[in-house]
Amino acid sequence: MAQSFCKFNVHIIFGTKERRNIITDDIKDDIYKYIIGISKKLDCYVIEIGGTECHIHILTAVSKNITVPKYIENIKSGSSRLIRDKHPELDFAWQIGYGAFSVSESNINIVRKYIQNQKEHHKKRSYYDEFVAFLKLNDIEFDEDYILK
């Protein structure tokens, strides 16, 4: 075969350090625009992005030219640097870890709607409960002591 064809849809979830409710409307747009822009530079495509005051969800098609951990490192480090530069009084930082879950093409619209409805969804379920549910759904072993770090 003369060409390689790949598409990796990934649902990424990570929170602010100490789950601080710090992603207010005035910085949310800056974060989202940055993540969309850096994704394009990395040859990745953000399908949907959303979240709440303490965490973010990104549904993305990750390029075959970058690993998922390297992609996440780029979006987390760059977006936190941007917010710290623009709003030093916030002492903004992301949590150390993240969740990254593969998404089949047939489930893209389900995940998109899920991300679009984050504010409503979290009136009934905490970020912690949501994250643990994703880990269990994806059969990922975890130590509860490290979920909130």
**Predicted confidence (pLDDT) per residue in 36-81, tens digit:** 999 999 999 999 999 999 999 999 999 999 999 999 999 999 999 9
Q: How far is residue 146 from each of residues 17, 56, 62, 124, 132, measured CA to CA in Å?
A: 12, 18, 26, 23, 11
Q: In what order do the strands lie in the sheet with 8-15?
A: 45-51, 55-62, 8-15, 99-102
Domains of the chain (ranges; CATH) run 8-146 (3.30.70.1290)
Report the pLDDT averaged over residues 20-47: 95
Summary mean pLDDT of the chain? 90
Distance (Å, rounded) from C-alpha 135 to C-alpha 72? 18
